[in-house]
Amino acid sequence: MNEAIYQRFQEICRQQRWKCTAQRLAVFAYVHDNDDHPDVDDVWREVKGTLPSVTRESIYRILNEFTDHGLLRRLDHVTSARYDCQVGPHGHFLCTRCGQIQDFPLPEPVTVPRGAISGDVEHLELRLTGICKRCRKPQTKTRKPKPAIQEKEEP
């Protein structure tokens, strides 16, 4: 593990008054600067490599805790929730065949006419869907499809 990541994580734990647990640290190390928009199973698979006894439930809880504290952004209504380390406004292009999500900068700040919404906006997302370049070409290898959601482990 990279020392800088560890330092950054310790700093976050201090701010949030979290215990620096091995599980939180492993999740943080994997998701920070990860622009693949992983889902809970991607994170679980990775963390199990170093912490074999970790449950999918714990990973899920940590990801949502990170989301609640603004370290991640959760993208719902895809195939399964995906987590994004870029929390600032940007657009997403979702390939409906392989599930890959690409980021793109928004061309200009999105503005909503005054009075068009009654309520406070907390989340803005521009999501485009289609078929990515790799899936468009039939002869090239596409990303492995996401495995079906696994049942959670018995405690």
**Residues in touch with Zn ion (CB under 5 A):** 84, 86, 95, 97-98, 103, 132, 135
In whole angstroms, the minimum distance from the beta carbon of 86 to Zn ion comes to: 5
- Tell the smallest beta-carbon distance from residue 84 to Zn ion (Å): 4
As to burial, measured by CB atoms within 10 angstroms (0-12 exposed, 13-18 middle, 19+ buried), residue 62 is buried
Q: Would you state the structure tokens that stand for residue 72, as one six-digit string?
A: 């991640």
Q: Please answer whether residues 23 and 51 qualify as being in contact, where contact means their C-beta atoms are separated by less than 8 angstroms.
A: yes
Nearer to Zn ion, 54 or 101 (CB): 101
13 vs 135 by CB, closer to Zn ion: 135
Q: Measured from the CB atom, is 39 or 84 closer to Zn ion?
A: 84
Q: How far is the CB of 74 from Zn ion (least distance, A)?
A: 11
Q: Which amino acid is at 22?
A: A
